[in-house]
Amino acid sequence: MAKGKIRFFCTHCGQESLKWLGRCPGCGEWNSLVEEQIAKKDSNSTLVSRFGPCDVSKPLHIDEVSGGDETRFSSGIAELDRVLGGGLVSGSLTLLSGDPGIGKSTLLLQSSAQVARQGKVLYISGEESVQQIKMRAERLDVKDVNLYLLAETNIETILEVIKSIAPQWVIIDSIQTLYWSELGSAPGNVAQVRECAGQLLRMAKDLPVAITLVGHVTKEGVIAGPRLLEHMVDTVLYLEGERNYPYRILRSVKNRFGSTNELGVFEMLGQGLIEVANPSAFFLAERSQGAPGSVVVPSMEGTRPVLVEVQALVTPTVFGQARRVTTGLDYQRTVLLAAVLDKKIGLHLGQQDIYVNVAGGLKVLEPAVDLAIVAAIASSSRNQTVDAETVFIGEVGLTGEVRAVGHLEKRIREASKLGFRRCICPSQNRKYLKGVLDIEIIGVERVEEALSVALGG
């Protein structure tokens, strides 16, 4: 191999520099440039693109390109198929990330067992031996399927095995453990992650084969390695969840073959991750009815409405300055809504501590939960209960107006399905509802009207 060159790469954005700099010129991060050795290409080597030699490539008129739908196959898990947009796509590169121990390997092993009943699956691990994977497979009752295991970290060996086996789906756990021998750096460094992901991307497109990569996350909760990794892959999935709760949330933040911000819900049990077919009932299972400060809101997670409980506690402060604490909600938005209540409703919250929480630990950030937050804070402040069969939907403006939101009919139908009998929503949305809805719809234009209906004045 020809002598390599030394370059410096940013671990946050992948910016390349000829010398070390204290601050990355690309993203502005301090002390993020690391030294890497890159292989020097021979001068007589032929430049090859992802789809063939560059000297034969030519632009095509759009009408000359033959169209066609992507080839999909089911992962065997309905919630995973939902997040992927209908299933795995042959020739795609997917990145699954999440905290250590959250259940990434468990989910993929369960799914691979289902796919391996119809096709061939190759599970490659750079962190565990095949014996360790076998132990997990026995716990998950994975047996009598066309599943191949490989413990390897050399990308060249992995590519040869993929070519020889020709599987339908390849799982690599994880991308940070792979290395290319042409590079002198250690596995997990910027150059190694970028190069190994690039070679796997070319392999996925050329065969074609569906490849899923497992990615580590940093302490800040972002995917470790260069930001370029997320741009290279076709789909980016995050598996989230609190260790104190049994559920796991699978989110799609990038998907070239489907919608983004989709959500799948699982429950972690001894036999693995179990699908939650009705997340609304799951999150409301332990709701205490008749308690002040408890309000239900239908929130949209992707294309699915999920009913969640918003809880608020308002109490006189014992500090010099009143506290505002939120869990699962946008902090700045909650402070803004508290100011609206203080100014427009006259609740006088300046010397009151306000704690607002989404029960169950789910994160809800859409503006449609504004009216539920306002109602929960007002209910706790006045020590009045809200009707247990009422849901609140609406965005609240700074002048106290209740603004329209999207997908109102879907939200209402989900609430009606779970037995709710009344919905307080924006008047602007009310006039556009179609069909017969088995629920009382109350349209409001101001926060005062909503609280008057909910709390009786």
Domain end marker among 226, 247, 276: 276
100 and 34 within one domain: no
**Better-predicted residue by pLDDT, 133 or 46:** 133
Could you tell me the CATH number of the domain that includes residue 434? 3.30.230.10
Token output for 395:
């965005």
In a shared domain, residues 305 and 383: yes
Each residue of 28-52: pLDDT tens digit? 888 888 777 665 554 444 434 434 4
Does the pLDDT at position 224 exceed 70? Answer: no
Q: Please tell me whether 85 is known to bind a ligand.
A: no
Among residues 251, 276, 301, the one where a domain terminates is 276
The pLDDT score that the predictor gives to residue 11 is 73
Residue 363: partners with Cβ closer than 8 Å, 6 or more residues away: 240, 328, 329
Whether residue 79 lies inside any domain: the answer is yes
Q: Is 53 one of the annotated binding-site residues?
A: no
How far apart CA 88 and CA 210 sit, in angstroms, is 7
Q: Is 104 annotated as a binding residue?
A: yes
Over residues 185-212, mean pLDDT: 89
- Answer with the one of 242, 276, 310 that is the final residue of a domain: 276
Do residues 74 and 113 lie in contact, with contact meaning Cβ atoms separated by under 8 Å?
no
Among 402, 400, 396, 404, CA closest to 333: 396
Same domain? 115 vs 24: no
Segment 382-405 shows an average pLDDT of 94
Read off the pLDDT of each residue in 433-457 and give the average, rounded to a whole number: 87
Tell whether residue 360 is among the known ligand binding residues: no
| Residue 243 burial (CB count, 10 A) | 9
The answer to whether the annotation marks 206 as part of a ligand binding site is: no
Q: For residues 208 and 90, is the Cβ–Cβ distance under 8 A?
A: yes
Q: Are residues 196 and 258 in the same domain?
A: yes
> Among residues of the chain, what percentage have pLDDT more than 90?
54
In this structure, what CATH number is given to the domain that contains residue 215?
3.40.50.300
Lowest mean pLDDT among 17-31, 46-60, 250-264: 46-60
**119 among the known binding-site residues?**
no
Residue 66 forms part of a structural domain: no
Domain membership flag for residue 49: no
Q: Which of 138-166 are b and which e, b meaning 16 or more Cβ less than 10 Å from the residue's Cβ?
A: eebebeebebbbbeebebeebeebbeeee
The amino acid that residue 426 corresponds to is: P
| 29 within a domain of the structure (yes/no) | yes
Q: What is the pLDDT of residues 287-313, one digit of tens each?
A: 888 889 999 999 998 778 999 999 999
More confident call, 32 vs 446: 446
Q: Average the pLDDT over 392-396 and give the result.
A: 96
Average of per-residue pLDDT across 104-123: 94
Residue 69's pLDDT band (boundaries 50, 70, 90)? low
The percentage of the chain sitting over the pLDDT mark of 70, rounded to a whole number, equals: 91
Higher pLDDT, 195 or 188: 195
Give a yes or no: residue 53 inside a domain: no
Q: Are residues 181 and 162 in the same domain?
A: yes
Q: Is residue 387 assigned to a domain?
A: yes
Q: What is the mean pLDDT of residues 96-112?
A: 92
Q: For residue 48, tell me if it sits in a domain.
A: no
Instruction: Give the pLDDT confidence score for residue 60 in this predicted structure.
Output: 84
- Per-residue pLDDT for 54 more than 50? no
Looking at the fold, whether 315 and 352 belong to one and the same domain comes out as yes
Is 61 a member of any domain? no
Asked whether residue 5 is marked as a ligand-binding residue, the answer is: no
DSSP percent split of the chain into helix, strand, coil, nearest 5: 30, 30, 45
Of 228 and 327, the one with more pLDDT = 327
Asked whether 82 and 237 are in contact (CB, 8 A), the reply is no
Statement to judge: residues 305 and 195 lie in one domain? no
Cβ 280 vs Cβ 266: under 8 Å: no
Residues 102 and 199 in one domain: yes
Same domain, 169 and 212: yes
Look up the domain containing 36 and give its range.
1-41
Q: Structural domain tally of the chain?
A: 3
The reply to whether 100 sits in an annotated binding site is yes
- Asked if residue 16 and residue 120 are part of one domain, the reply reads no
Tell me the average pLDDT across 353-376. Answer: 92
Averaged confidence pLDDT in the chain: 87
- Looking at residue 38, what is its pLDDT? 66
Most confident stretch, 7-21, 70-84, 156-170, 271-285: 156-170
Question: Does one domain contain both 153 and 210?
Answer: yes
In tens, the pLDDT along 137-149 reads 999 999 889 999 9
91 and 111 inside one domain:
yes
**Predicted local distance difference test score (pLDDT) of residue 211:** 97
